[in-house]
Amino acid sequence: MVKMKDNSQSLTKNHEDLKFKDPVLVTKPLLPDLEKYNEYLERIWDKQWLTNNGPIVNEFKEKLKSKLKSDHVEVFSNGHSALEIAIQSLNLKGDVITTPFTFASTTHAITLNNLNPIFCDINRENYNIDVSLIEELITDDTSAILPVHVFGNPCDLKKIDKIAKKHDLKVIYDAAHCFGVEFDGIPISQFGDISMFSFHATKVFNSIEGGALTFNDSDLILKLKALKNFGITPEVETVDYIGQNAKMNEFEAAMGICNLELIGHAIEMRKNIYELYENNFKEVSAIKTIKIDPKVKSNYAYFTILLDSNQQRDFLFKKLHQSNVFVKKYFYPSANEFPVYNYDLNLSVSKKVSDCILSLPIYPDLSLDTVNKISELIILFLNEFEKFNV
């Protein structure tokens, strides 16, 4: 039998006693005080400037430069468009080595640029791309590596940088989960040629929808501005690229500015929840959690558990939903198994993780009592599964 460490409440015998009356969602958006946001709405109404590089967007960009500690930041209407444009801006050709354990956006951004995603399996510790396997996938057609900082945990940055320099490859990081994360005292935005951050409502930090690119090469400034505005180079009013409409609007930027004031406290609250879950499952042999590297300043973007089997994961998923706890199979399935790609590859670690992972509720105003109650439910259901699957 698995047990939960005592956290000033005893293990309840009947899971019906623990069923939530109201749904507990896997995440909730960070929202500022409505009066604060209304101050920006009044500015928008006063200026009657809604989009097209407005004053609030520019204010947001300057604040992001400070927060992300990057000299060059460009903002976009969403993270996917930002990633797609990042790839386009580097004039890549042929193959891009990436991870199969990611959200669909990563792979689609590669494919929509008429490039070939080459899937590299992941490691067993934090589910990031396995750097020991990258070089064997490099060919004359390889132009870049596109790793994902999965669940906000940085990839093996030094080894990826070493491989890229050795083979003259570009590196674009999908840092969608990594807002505010640092490694060894260095902001995550400092690594690679370009990093993409998502500001979707489900992320640690949001601007409703939205995204940003951080980069070091100043030559990309005008190109990125053009690519997100139909390819129009504003200085000469010519269309120099095949671009798209990916401009951030004033409403998104206003939400971003307001949430920048809240993000520090929000991450602290997430940390408390993360550590409580970790403590509750410390002695549960059926559950594996990700151990955060001591060198990482985390944002506690997600709390995931890895179960022993797909059957155990799906049983727990169903039982929690019946108890009004809406966990998520994230990421599932592995991207190479999407019907649209359907690559027949032996990516055993990604397959195992995607088949057995669950993301648990975590957001700043989730109460610690609720975290304990969810933990109890999970342990009760695991015991139930064990009882009937001996």
- What is the mean pLDDT, run by run of 10 residues, along the chain of 390 residues? 44 69 97 98 98 97 97 98 98 98 98 98 98 98 98 98 98 98 97 98 98 97 96 86 97 98 98 98 96 97 98 98 97 96 92 98 98 97 88
Could you give the CA distance from residue 131 to residue 14 in angstroms, rounded to a whole number?
A: 46
273 and 205 inside one domain: no
Whether 10 is covered by a domain: the verdict is no
CB 74 within 8 A of CB 212: yes
270 and 238 inside one domain: no
CB 90 within 8 A of CB 194: yes
115 and 197 inside one domain: yes
Q: Which two tokens stand for residue 112?
A: 């929509």
Could you give the CA distance from residue 320 to residue 377 in angstroms, rounded to a whole number?
A: 7
Q: Which of 235, 260, 285 is the last residue of a domain?
A: 260
Residues with Cβ within 8 Å of residue 247, at least 6 apart in sequence = 51, 52, 53, 57, 76, 77, 228, 229
Q: For residue 177, what is the domain's CATH number?
A: 3.40.640.10
Whether 332 is covered by a domain: the verdict is yes
129 and 236 inside one domain: yes
The pLDDT value given to residue 3: 53
117 and 244 inside one domain: yes
Q: At what angle do helices 79-89 and 220-227 cross, to 10 degrees?
A: 130
Backbone φ and ψ of 150, nearest 5°: -65, 130
Whether 7 is covered by a domain: the verdict is no
The pLDDT value given to residue 389: 82
12-20 contacts: CB < 8 A, separation 24 or more?
Answer: 12/376, 12/380, 15/319, 15/323, 15/377, 15/380, 15/381, 15/384, 18/323, 18/373, 18/376, 18/377, 18/380, 19/322, 19/323, 19/324, 20/323, 20/324, 20/325, 20/370, 20/373
49 and 190 inside one domain: yes
Q: Which of 260, 286, 308 is the last residue of a domain?
A: 260
The pLDDT value given to residue 15: 66
Q: Which of 242, 260, 278 is the last residue of a domain?
A: 260
215 and 352 inside one domain: no
Parallel/antiparallel/unpaired status of strands 72-76 and 211-215: antiparallel
Whether 9 is covered by a domain: the verdict is no
What is the CA angle 123-126-127, rounded to 5?
A: 50
What is the CA angle 318-105-139, rounded to 5?
A: 120
Placement of tokens 């990604």 in the chain: 350
Whether 372 is covered by a domain: the verdict is yes
Residues with Cβ within 8 Å of residue 120, at least 6 apart in sequence = 97, 98, 99, 100, 129, 130, 133, 134, 137
Whether 200 is covered by a domain: the verdict is yes
Whether 218 is covered by a domain: the verdict is yes
Could you give the CA distance from residue 206 to residue 29 in angstroms, rounded to a whole number?
A: 7
266 and 252 inside one domain: no
Cα–Cα separations (whole angstroms), residue 128 to 90, 106, 175: 23, 13, 12
115 and 227 inside one domain: yes
319 and 380 inside one domain: yes
Parallel/antiparallel/unpaired status of strands 170-174 and 194-198: parallel
The pLDDT value given to residue 1: 42
348 and 225 inside one domain: no
Whether 284 is covered by a domain: the verdict is yes
Q: Which two tokens stand for residue 78?
A: 């969403």
Taking the model in full, what pTM does it have? Answer: 0.94
Q: For residue 317, what is the domain's CATH number?
A: 3.90.1150.10
Q: Which domain holds residue 338?
A: 15-29+262-388
Could you give the CA distance from residue 69 to residue 63 in angstroms, rounded to a whole number?
A: 10
150 and 271 inside one domain: no
The pLDDT value given to residue 390: 59
The pLDDT value given to residue 4: 47
Give the count of domains, the chain. 2
